[in-house]
Amino acid sequence: MVGVKAGYDNNANGEVLGAQLHLPLMRRGSVELMPSVDVTFLTGLKEYQYAVDALYRPVGQQGGPYIGGGLAFRNTIYGADPGLPRETRRGYSIVVGSTFGGASSFRPQLEIRWVFISKPELDPFTPVNPQVVTFGVNIPLTGRGARRGEAGS
């Protein structure tokens, strides 16, 4: 499945637009790999975030709740001086969410993501640790998705 999302970064106080892929790793879809990219729009600055998360879905591809985590990268200006160069740092993310719509091909998604990038010794006054809430929509890339009455493909 491929999806788009929009939301708000509660820590940076900025709007977020993003996209993700849901790649099933197990036959019933209970474990997925979800690479994603997000752009946070701040006054005079765009922050870019890339993540690869492993998700666990107790009910498989039919939707419902999921939880996961993985590796995250954030490209921004770290520090209070806007003249500093952009820098990409690595961290980790924790994600919880849910998809809705069951076996339909149009699946809304609600997600909360915490990303831990900054270290207090490097960023004592301007930590960058996004806390993002997004609403998105996912659609299948192929016709092989779960059918009504089936737990997965």
And the tokens for 8? Answer: 């708000």
Higher pLDDT, 120 or 14: 14
Per-residue confidence (pLDDT) for residue 142, from 0 to 100: 75
Per-residue confidence (pLDDT) for residue 127, from 0 to 100: 65
How confident is residue 120, by pLDDT bands cut at 50, 70 and 90? low
CATH architecture of the domain 2-139 equals: Beta Barrel (2.40)
Which helix or strand (DSSP H or E) is residue 66 part of? strand 64-76
Asked whether residue 35 carries a pLDDT value surpassing 80, the answer given is yes
Per-residue confidence (pLDDT) for residue 148, from 0 to 100: 46
| Contacts (Cβ under 8 Å, ≥6 apart) of 17 | 4, 5, 6, 38, 39, 41
Asked whether residue 10 carries a pLDDT value surpassing 80, the answer given is yes
Share above pLDDT 90 across residues of the chain, in percent, rounded to a whole number: 61
Higher pLDDT, 126 or 153: 126
Q: How far apart are CA 89 and CA 141, in angstroms?
A: 31
Per-residue confidence (pLDDT) for residue 41, from 0 to 100: 97
